[in-house]
Structure 1
Amino acid sequence: MDYTYVRHDRDLQALCQTLASDEHIFFDTEFISEDVYLPDLCLIQVASRSGLAVIDPKGMIDLTPFWDLITSDQVTVVAHAAREEFLFCFRANGKWPTRLFDTQVAAGLIGMEFPVSLSNLLTRLLGEHLPKGETRTNWRGRPLSKQQIEYALNDVIFLDQIYRQLVEQLESLGRMSWMTDEMNRFQNAWEDYSTRPGWRSVSGIGNLNRRALAIVREIWTWRDHHAKSQNVPPRRILRDDLMVELAKRKSAKVSQIKALRGMNRRDLDPYIEDLADCVRRAIELPDDQCPVNHRGTASSQYTVLGQFLSAALGSICREARIAPSLACTIQDVRDLVAYHLDGAGEVPPLAKGWRAEVIGRTFEDLLDGTLVVKIGDPRADEPLAFEQHSNQAE
């Protein structure tokens, strides 16, 4: 396998000049995230019509020319499951690729499962199989072996063929504009994830009241500071579920904090007083300074209707050749119900773009009673059937 190994600034600049004349850049990264505050970028693999290259971030190198290139409008950037690649880029220069094509998203738009691994996608489209010999390799170690580098390059050498097949199928279905919309949607979501207050991402806070959310916010800020200063994952300092439980209990008493199951770890002993202070500050906060739960608690009406519509979602998506998990979440369905019945909230995803065309309008017809769903052939692959229904009395 012939490739260029880039570890110095001058070599990266030369590579970027070459890549700038190519129409497409296919790239992937190797990183380690389990023991650090932010993922540690260890390798960048690149394929183009000019050949293969690996960029070594651990060398004496400034990656700015590469990130600037892939966020320019000179090339189409192709990657698989590109969230981390996007975040590396966004953290580096505050921009995103203007012409990004994520093969995982494209696969969902032509009816494959979402998310699909690169290995499964490669097998489905090309009948090839990726080697697994370096799955647990230490990408921080230097020098990297030939086997490690070739294993990493296998993640990009087939992307060109995969890309072309996906584009062909998207064009035959008339969905290239959908792909553009999805890339904008995903990148907006990734940017929001990267820039919004991190405490909003704590799992289990959906039904907390404002005072409990204030406690979560205080503890999260404290946890984030310690995790960053120690360069460890935040959950290694304190798990999300413990933060939520402390918020529910609303007690600043050290004895009650210690009594919580999971708080009896020795490494947490030095932090107990800090946690008590966090809870105390949040309890003393004026009501109008407590954060609002944007989601709120869904009414039982919305929940029941959402569950009913979600049962029909799979049939609608399979008929339209769309991955259901790419199309929407259960919360998206509930948001559509609330918006359609009461005009509550902002215009939801299922009322906009291709999602409205494929799913949203069908759901709205079901809610209005102009469309009914019934069991057609219970032994068929798609046992549900949809029929128009008149509300007018005969």
Structure 2
Amino acid sequence: MTKPNVPSPVWLTSNEQLASACEGWLQQPFLAMDTEFVRTTTFFPQAGLLQVADDQQCYLIDPLVIDDWSAFAAVLQHSGVTKVFHACAEDLEVCRQLTGVLPSPLADSQLAAAMAGLGSSLGFQKLIMALLDIEIDKEETRSNWLARPLTDEQIQYAVADVHYLHQIYPMLEQQLQNLQRLEWLQEDCARIIDELSEVEVPGNYYQRVKLAWKLRPQEQHILQRLVVWREAEARLRDVPRSKLVDDNSLWNLARYKPKNKDQLAKAGVRKDIIRHDGPLLLQIVEQAQQDERELWPTILDKPLPPDAGQLLKNIKQMVAERAEALNIPPEILARKKPLEALLRSGWPNSRYQLPESMQGWRLAEIGSALLQMLNESN
């Protein structure tokens, strides 16, 4: 096992320095990227640092002093430069928050590792150990990235992430090419960007509330109105959603329809929110009960009936066996939500249809076999 040995970074602390670096990055086939941020008391991530590695240097971009991100946005969108992240979800949000765009084409090394048969949801530390036999320190993950100056430990940690990511991506890419799976990675990463690029509809957010399906149709409408209010206010005040009203309390408001502040408290709403927003919450609940049925949302699906349970087990078993043969995690081949959508598409006696997320490379590897089995079961 080798100890980390990372280079000294190049700091980019002005708009001009960033723009100059971006000119060089546009000539690179790929860039390793990472972000550090703080998000404990805010709705939006507060960027503390951006890291980039090319074939020459590692760079640290200071978002606390840079305010012109146009050149960096051009790099993120350049079709000839692959942007490589590890477990990219939160990094993509930071990029969009700063620049207004998402990186494309994208490559996620965690997803690549899973497709190459190295393991499921592999952390960066374990991936570097597996491929380079180097143990890197991850103790600075939750440190304060908004502080200045950053400590030597923070800087080394930040540089190591992109320094080694730049080294392992060609290794992962080669492994996937050998397995004829590089297109899998490209397809799934493009889908990630496509899904994030879709315009979010606040009126659909109520679907994410646990057990929302248990509410009656009108109550789902009340929940929808409450969730729309919370989303707008959380963004406006830049606070986490749960700091306003958590999901469980919103469900209680929709179900029990409070008429006064005492009943808001019984539903789980915090005292400070009752003082500040109580009258408006009561008004939303009251008004939603008066809305016409035409304004009610589409009723959420109930859980699959018990007699569909065995069929769901059967298709999950098919996925597990095929995943084992491919030496990849079952969730890479087909996650639970698409499998349930597949089952709902034809249950109990109609023709089954694959959801969009099971098209592409998954159609040949498992989709066609699942369709055949399900349609023959009718």
Give the TM-score of the pair, scaled to structure 2: 0.88
| 1:242 Cα deviation after fit | 1.1
**In the alignment, which residue of structure 1 is the partner of 2:43?**
37
- Which amino acid in 2 is paired with 1:73? S
Give the 3-state SS of the residue equivalent to 1:41 in structure 2.
strand
Cα distance in 2 for partners of 1:360, 1:93 equals 37
Cα distance in 2 for partners of 1:40, 1:100 equals 22
Cα distance in 1 for partners of 2:98, 2:83 equals 17
Q: Which runs of 5+ in 2 are unaligned?
A: 1-6
Cα distance in 1 for partners of 2:107, 2:295 equals 42
Alignment check: 8 A CA contact 1:349 1:355 kept: no
**In the alignment, which residue of structure 2 is the partner of 1:10?**
16
Cα distance in 1 for partners of 2:303, 2:216 equals 10
User: For the structure 1 residues 244 and 114, does the alpha-carbon distance in structure 2 shift closer, same or farther, using more than 3 Å as the test?
Assistant: farther
Give the 3-state SS of the residue equivalent to 2:51 in structure 1.
strand
Q: Does 1:364 align with 2:371?
A: yes
User: For the structure 1 residues 367 and 177, does the alpha-carbon distance in structure 2 shift closer, same or farther, using more than 3 Å as the test?
Assistant: same
Give the 3-state SS of the residue equivalent to 2:366 in structure 1.
helix
- Which amino acid in 2 is paired with 1:154? A
Alignment check: 8 A CA contact 1:25 1:47 kept: yes
| 1:277 Cα deviation after fit | 1.3
Alignment check: 8 A CA contact 2:261 2:274 kept: no
Give the 3-state SS of the residue equivalent to 1:18 in structure 2.
helix
**In the alignment, which residue of structure 1 is the partner of 2:319?**
313
Residues 146-179 of structure 1, C-alpha deviation per residue, up to 9 Å, x if partnerless? 3211111111111122211211111111112211
Which residue of the other structure, out of 217, 227, 249, is the alignment partner of 1:242? Answer: 249
Identify the structure with the greater strand proportion: 1
User: For the structure 1 residues 206 and 123, does the alpha-carbon distance in structure 2 shift closer, same or farther, using more than 3 Å as the test?
Assistant: farther
User: For the structure 1 residues 38 and 349, does the alpha-carbon distance in structure 2 shift closer, same or farther, using more than 3 Å as the test?
Assistant: same
Alignment check: 8 A CA contact 2:346 2:353 kept: no
Aligned runs of 1:124-163 on 2, under 5 Å?
124-163=130-169
Aligned runs of 1:315-330 on 2, under 5 Å?
315-330=321-336
User: For the structure 1 residues 132 and 180, does the alpha-carbon distance in structure 2 shift closer, same or farther, using more than 3 Å as the test?
Assistant: closer
Q: May I ask how many residue pairs the two structures share in their alignment?
A: 367
| 1:307 Cα deviation after fit | 2.9
Aligned runs of 1:183-198 on 2, under 5 Å?
183-192=189-198, 195-197=200-202
| 1:24 Cα deviation after fit | 1.4
Residues 296-344 of structure 1, C-alpha deviation per residue, up to 9 Å, x if partnerless? 5534443442133224432221112222122222232222223355557
Cα distance in 1 for partners of 2:221, 2:297 equals 6
Give the 3-state SS of the residue equivalent to 1:132 in structure 2.
coil
Q: Which runs of 5+ in 1 are unaligned?
A: 371-394
Alignment check: 8 A CA contact 2:234 2:241 kept: yes
Alignment check: 8 A CA contact 2:34 2:85 kept: yes
**In the alignment, which residue of structure 1 is the partner of 2:4?**
none
Query: For structure 1, which segment, 343-352 or 24-33, has the greater mean C-alpha deviation from structure 2 after superposition?
Result: 343-352
Q: Does 1:97 align with 2:99?
A: no
Cα distance in 2 for partners of 1:206, 1:71 equals 39
Cα distance in 1 for partners of 2:111, 2:316 equals 21
Identity %: 25
Give the 3-state SS of the residue equivalent to 2:65 in structure 1.
strand
Cα distance in 1 for partners of 2:152, 2:337 equals 47
Residues 230-272 of structure 1, C-alpha deviation per residue, up to 9 Å, x if partnerless? 3211111111111122222244454433323x33x43233133
Alignment check: 8 A CA contact 2:18 2:71 kept: yes
User: For the structure 1 residues 293 and 346, does the alpha-carbon distance in structure 2 shift closer, same or farther, using more than 3 Å as the test?
Assistant: farther
Query: For structure 1, which segment, 106-115 or 22-31, has the greater mean C-alpha deviation from structure 2 after superposition?
Result: 106-115
Query: For structure 1, which segment, 205-214 or 345-354, has the greater mean C-alpha deviation from structure 2 after superposition?
Result: 345-354
Residues 279-306 of structure 1, C-alpha deviation per residue, up to 9 Å, x if partnerless? 1121111111111146455344434421
**In the alignment, which residue of structure 2 is the partner of 1:391?**
none
Give the TM-score of the pair, scaled to structure 1: 0.85
Give the 3-state SS of the residue equivalent to 2:63 in structure 1.
strand
